[in-house]
Amino acid sequence: MSGRAGLVVAEQARIYDHGPQHPLRPERVLLTWSLIHAYRLDLAPNVTRLDPEPADDDVLALVHDRAFIEATRAAGHGEDGPWLSFGYGPGDNPIFHLMHEAGAIVAGGTLEAARAVVAGEVAHGFNAAGGLHHAMAARASGFCVYDDPAVAIAWLLQHGVERIAYLDLDVHHGDGPQAIFWDEPRVLTVSIHQYAPWYFFPGTGDATERGGANAEGSAINVPLRPETGEEAWLDALREAVLPAARSFRPDVLVTQLGCDTHRSDPLAQLHLTMRAYREAAVELHTLAHEAASGRWVATGGGGYQWARVVPRAWTLYFSEMADTEVDDALPRAWVEEAEGLAGGNVPATMSEP
């Protein structure tokens, strides 16, 4: 397969930081970019670096209520207000400095990947900082300020793209895009996720959730029981998720590549290894070319083994997008960098489960 790959790099995305005790660590994205560079993937002849601008309010308002955008800006600048009503406060979504600006940077990265893909500058675009799929139109949720995949999808629709398939591989249900495009027949949302509504976040994603009155069948959910293993997950991906997207015949494929499905992730109970991400990358790459003429916008997502798992998984995905093999042995300088941040316990190879 051929096609130029675009890598979004926005070092300022490091300010998306809920604090040192929060599971969503900005280091996971910084270490991903660092590992991609250590493998020299960003310097490959078929790779273009994409340098985004923050999404402006008008673009964010394609998805989010303006009152929510203003509340996010005010809260992140230390103003007092009824922030709990917008989803901010103790717990999953603590207020942090420059919260609006951080969310706008992330959304701008996914938007830049989408723009470059539809402009024909690249076939595939990847924003590792993106994938914040729990944010709703008027409420933050699940560590997510602005819903960057939904913002990019809404922008694509506004700019003439007629059919978009959104595939969400995160361990948590892709509830934000599903809710936002619930009644939009031009958008297919497909989510494969752990499902135990009595205790597992966000409590949605049952197979009976099928889309709104004007878009019946536009939402497809593949709920999996806790403790589901790698073979069953791959079977579900190949037998349910990919065929649904292929039959939709999208103009653009958008994917959320959360790797909190890993067997060591502290927030979930699925049992994937690095092998699953390598195989999923190949399957998605094939799907993009077969179903969407190669046009593929990819984001990161969840993943809370931020040094051991996330950079390896997302580097595998990007190496597939760039049609480039990477050595199994991780670059030694990168391992030392990651161990310095994580206090040791970083694998030496890509293949270590």
Q: Is the per-residue pLDDT at 348 higher than 90?
A: yes
Report domain extents, the chain: 5-342
Q: How many Å apart are CA 144 and CA 102, to the nearest integer?
A: 11
Q: How many Å apart are CA 323 and CA 4, to the nearest integer?
A: 9
Band (pLDDT 50/70/90 cuts) for residue 291 is very high
Is-catalytic flag, 134?
Answer: yes
Please tell me the CATH code under which domain 5-342 is placed. Answer: 3.40.800.20
Which of 133, 134, 285, 289 does the annotation list as catalytic? 134
CA angle 136, 140, 146 (to 5 degrees): 70
Q: How many Å apart are CA 299 and CA 147, to the nearest integer?
A: 11
Q: How many Å apart are CA 70 and CA 86, to the nearest integer?
A: 11
Helix (H) or strand (E) segment spanning residue 32: helix 27-38
Band (pLDDT 50/70/90 cuts) for residue 223 is very high
Percent of the chain with pLDDT over 70: 99
pLDDT of residue 73: 98
